[in-house]
Chain A
């Protein structure tokens, strides 16, 4: 029964992850697991000093835990399920003894929790580092999905000759776009490390480290379905050995905070004296139901969290924050709010249609670790897609309709004339103009040649020009955060109007092709093989490009 629920939950988590793409219907909350995690919402609210609507979902889990107990860890948590399923595969049974330092280690997760809460109060949201749902979503995105797609494509390639011969054309032509992320290895090592810790103790992560488990364990002893051991108990100790959480202790006791109600002990007990009845008492009794973190330990944790929160804000990388030319996703909150509210789950980057959303490392300061930025040389921001905001569980990226999203200006394209083929080499090139969805690139006659200019008020920073610029290496036209619109509330359309920006596609621009004023009047030089554009002769200038007189 429990295994079935776990499989279901893990499959559901994985399906929702897969569904997080640009086709996501508005009614489907693909980020529901992240929303249900009260720790993520709490940390975002404390660090951001602002209310997060979607965090209300976290109350559902808190209330359920208060009513039932810590069932989340054993039935729902997808990371817990992965640890449970991999445990018998990776580690031999019976070889692991209880760690001698178990009671001390047990407190570690409370230290972690207090550390993150204190840091959040300092204005640094760090909980993403170890929150299981954020961590797993991120691991799926950066570490598991890319190799998975790669593997599927390799298998498809291997099978392709057969499919072609059999005329299974849907398979013969099938190939998935390979997602690319820069931090796959780091993310994978953390994920693998958590699994490897299972070598020391089953569910090592859940017992000793997980801050969400720690938070839930503060409420779970209130749950009505508590473990009881009958008086016939022979103290054989089998339940102690079997308990994956080390919650069963000798002489019929239970660490209620640790018990995740998995009922492994019930199955294990030779005397059938263990049960989980609905308790008549509202409040639990006994020492074993409380975490026993000393006052000193508590103070150390708070001090550590305050220190950590401070260090993140003022590190050698901090100056980068102001210099960095990071382009944030459309609808991203103002930078400081964005950094405190973003929980680094990677869901936006997973769902990004063009894969332009990439995790930052330290380029935006240490506080920007794993936050999404656009790599516009790699891919542009698709005009018809607004999924990143839709799936953001804390709304660090606001969920916007397409019209609003179009007006959430990301930045402005800047022409680097010294690299531009037209400006620097008098070559004929107008790819940036051709690809621009807003006709923000215009050509004006300068020194006898038509040269590109950016009309800043028409550029919303989508980056198609930067991506497609044919100059090798760095692009000759680069989107900089100049003029980006970042707002906590309000309409981007209204703001853009106020700033007199116009992102309506405007074809009237073609007229420039026909104008001749200012162009050099020279007899046409046309050496074959020469790539230089011929200065427009008056007669040629009267025709649009591609036409002859």
Chain B
């Protein structure tokens, strides 16, 4: 094989989104400073572009936070511009359909309107923004690695899609300390109240993370709600960061480091549900072990 052939093959492989040749390793995390849309695009590009995750004809599910009837200023929902950018990138990578989903805590219609995601995604063909508040849209799956959960009803769209991308908002949470990618998975299941009342929520979350595995997590830390979460209002700081990675624990762990929570600095290891998830082997929690690319959009 000539050098030229090798390059050609590599280029073709890149174009087709096939696994890259070894050595062209992407960073574990891309941490980009900037506006939500631009930073998100740069972050995903830094990881090798959307075609690394989304193939032609794929059905993609995006899971932002949009379960509170409030706008971006309150920082309880993902910024609509970030959601739109990622949806657009999925389409550019050839996605057949992009379903933007959540199971809201307030009236679904109000959340759709106030969170601004539905408006932001208007005009994007084959992108649907939908709240799933009916039981019939959920299907039970077993949790073989579960410690407290043995089965859980998950949104069918998520089970049937090829690619799940989580787009969490960085925020505090009165019960789990912080709410980012892993905690956001609770918006994809039917019975959330048992997490609060029946199980140890931190371990239930780690269990849930063993069955719902996003291919990519893009954390919106352009604003962070550091008190009063998950719904706010509370103190909002502006780290101006978007953090992307394939390892959901690593992304969340970095997210913990971007702001003080309830006035105190924490490490990912100190967040009980992240620690539990990393102990199940779901990802790396220590930032020292990660290859982090930092840039500005």
Chain A residues packing against B (C-beta within 8 Å)? 22-23, 157, 167, 169-170, 173, 175, 177, 353-354, 382, 384-385, 421, 427, 429-431, 433-435, 437, 468, 470, 505, 507, 510, 513-514, 531, 543-549
Contacts and interface: CB of A to CB of B under 8 A. Distances in A.
B273 interface: yes
Contacts of B202: 546
A513 B262 contact: yes
A385 B178 CA distance: 29
Nearest to A379: B107
Nearest to A505: B233
Given A430-B174, A544-B261, 15 more contacts: A157-B136, A167-B97, A175-B136, A384-B114, A429-B196, A431-B196, A434-B174, A434-B196, A470-B198, A507-B232, A510-B172, A510-B227, A513-B174, A546-B271, A547-B271
15 contacts: A173-B157, A177-B108, A382-B106, A434-B174, A434-B175, A435-B231, A470-B198, A510-B262, A513-B174, A513-B262, A546-B173, A546-B271, A546-B273, A547-B261, A548-B271
A431 B105 CA distance: 12
B133 to A, nearest CB: 7
A353 B126 CA distance: 29
B48 interface: no
Contacts of B228: 505, 507, 510
B196 A470 contact: yes
Contacts of A23: 109
Contacts of B132: 173
A337 B96 CA distance: 59
Contacts of B109: 22-23, 353
Contacts of B270: 543, 547-549
Nearest to B273: A546
Interface string B53-79: 000000000000000010000000000
Contacts of A514: 262-263
Nearest to A427: B197
Contact of B193 (A177, A431, A544, A546): A431
Most buried by B among A435, A513, A546: A546
A538 to B, nearest CB: 16
Interface in B213-266: 227-228, 230-235, 261-264, 266
Contacts of A549: 270
Nearest to A353: B107
A384 B110 contact: yes
Contacts of B157: 173
Contacts of B263: 514
A510 B172 CA distance: 11
B174 A548 contact: no
B26 interface: no
A507 B198 CA distance: 27
Given A157-B136, A546-B273, A382 B107 contact: yes
A464 B157 CA distance: 29
B107 A385 contact: yes
B177 interface: yes
B169 to A, nearest CB: 16
B106 A177 contact: no
Interface string B122-147: 00001010101110110000000000
B19 to A, nearest CB: 28
B50 interface: no
B176 interface: yes
Contacts of B269: 548
B275 interface: yes
Interface of B: 69, 96-97, 99, 105-110, 114, 126, 128, 130, 132-134, 136-137, 157, 172-178, 193, 196-198, 200, 202, 227-228, 230-235, 261-264, 266, 269-273, 275
Given A384-B110, A429-B196, A547 B96 contact: no
B227 A507 contact: yes
B226 to A, nearest CB: 10
Most buried by A among B128, B132, B177, B193: B177
A510 B107 contact: no
A169 B59 CA distance: 11
Contacts of A22: 107, 109-110
Nearest to A530: B200
A167 B126 CA distance: 9
Most buried by A among B107, B178, B233, B264: B107
Contacts of A353: 107, 109-110
A57 B69 CA distance: 36
A427 B200 CA distance: 11
A169 B193 contact: no
A167 B133 contact: no
Given A169-B97, A384-B110, A510-B227, A546 B176 contact: yes
Contacts of B272: 546-548
Nearest to A439: B228
Nearest to A433: B174
B99 A169 contact: yes
Contacts of A545: 174-177
A177 B177 contact: no
A282 to B, nearest CB: 54
B174 A170 contact: no
A505 B232 CA distance: 8
A327 to B, nearest CB: 19
Contacts of A433: 174
A547 B97 contact: no
A135 B182 CA distance: 51
Nearest to B126: A169
A430 B175 contact: yes
B193 A437 contact: no
Given A545-B177, A546-B272, A437 B231 contact: yes
A470 B110 contact: no
Nearest to A470: B197
B110 A173 contact: no
Contacts of B174: 430, 433-434, 510, 513, 544-545
Contacts of A434: 174-175, 196, 230-231
A453 to B, nearest CB: 16
A177 B133 contact: yes
Nearest to B98: A169
Contacts of A173: 99, 128, 130, 132, 137, 157
Nearest to B263: A514
Contacts of B96: 167
Given A169-B97, A430-B175, A421 B197 contact: yes
A382 B114 CA distance: 13
A507 B174 CA distance: 11
Contacts of A435: 105, 231
A518 B206 CA distance: 32
Contacts of B196: 429-431, 434, 470
A23 to B, nearest CB: 8
Contact of B234 (A169, A430, A507): A507
Given A157-B136, A429-B197, A547-B272, A354 B97 contact: no
Contacts of A507: 227-228, 232-235
